[in-house]
Amino acid sequence: MSTINTHTTSISDATWLPTDRGHTPLKPTQGILMFRSAIGLIGLTYLILAAAQPTLAGTIHQEEVSTYLQVFGNAPIGQTFTAEDEYVSRFAFNFDDFNNEFLNGSTIVRLYEGDTIVGDPVYVDAVELTPGSQGLAFFSILPVALNIGATYTLEVERFNPRWGLGVYQHHFSDGQPIPGHEDYTGGHAIINGQPALGYDLSFRVIPLVPGDGNIDGLVTGIDYLLWASHYGDDPADNPPGPPSNGDYNADGRVDALDYFIWADSFVNTNSVTAPEPSSLSLTLLGVALTVGRRGRKRRTRRRR
């Protein structure tokens, strides 16, 4: 019977043979260090790129309603506000259908620069309100760029007396504040074309959520696919322009920065892990491994 001789070789005295490329294979400890370096590089890259995520001041809103004023009979009627975010995507007002014997049709919203309803609007939209409804109605738009800290005015217009607009009174006619009624300090209502300093409309100004490519107020996989379909565009398509072209930081090109803006909003909105583009991960890992291999060539040694 033949005898099989076995020999156990420890890592420390192993023979490292040259590869067919003439490189020396890495020891397991070196591979672990390289893997850790790659993971660290990916994490650092995420932190750096995620820093490009814009910080939102949030929705401007006055939710309370004291009464409803007829839009048609109190025109021009609107609300001034101070811009807190660079881009807004939606406006909303509180309506009441209290004269339903009139035709419905469209209700128009216009946005003006400054604190008056004069000149050419920078934005115009119209929606048909739901008959018999009372509450907030949203005007969804393409992103409108604002100057943070500047004053703007929203005007609401109706062609007949059907709809009323929610108004909140926070000061008496003599200028004294009404106890328990807080005003929106960034602006005031405009009624019959005149400043109504004791009133606010019931309204919202909603900022554009970073990574929301289809501007529906949500950050979902649809917005990821929109980014992916435009990835590499330099310059980014205009029209449609950002964010509908996947350029979520509006720098004129669609790249990894835009992905991380989407991913950060996706995680914060949905409380789940954002899917990571495999090509981007492999690229970062490949860079780390390449850097790790350089300078590690050693003279080979054989066991005699």
Please check the confidence at residue 296 and state whether its pLDDT lies above 50: no
Give which of 54, 53, 55, 65 is closest to 204, Cα–Cα.
65
Q: What is the mean pLDDT of residues 281-287?
A: 45
Last residue of a domain, one of 182, 207, 232: 207
189 and 75 co-located in one domain: yes
Would you say residue 125 lies in a domain?
Answer: yes
pLDDT of residue 145: 85
95 and 192 co-located in one domain: yes
Q: Please write the tens of the pLDDT for every residue from 79-102.
A: 999 999 988 888 999 999 989 999
Q: What is the mean pLDDT of residues 176-203?
A: 96
Please check the confidence at residue 140 and state whether its pLDDT lies above 70: yes
66 and 203 co-located in one domain: yes
**In degrees, to the nearest 5, what angle opens at C-alpha 160 toward C-alphas 159 and 161?**
140
Measure the CA–CA gap between 304 and 299, rounded to whole angstroms.
Answer: 16
Q: Which residue has the higher pLDDT, 38 or 90?
A: 90
Would you say residue 2 lies in a domain?
Answer: no
Q: Please write the tens of the pLDDT for every residue from 11-34.
A: 444 444 444 555 556 566 666 666
Please check the confidence at residue 289 and state whether its pLDDT lies above 80: no
- Domain span at residue 278 reads 46-54+211-288
Last residue of a domain, one of 190, 207, 224: 207
239 and 263 co-located in one domain: yes
120 and 144 co-located in one domain: yes
pLDDT of residue 285: 45
Q: What is the mean pLDDT of residues 47-72?
A: 77
Cis peptide before 207 (omega within 30 of 0): no
175 and 69 co-located in one domain: yes
pLDDT of residue 7: 44
140 and 253 co-located in one domain: no
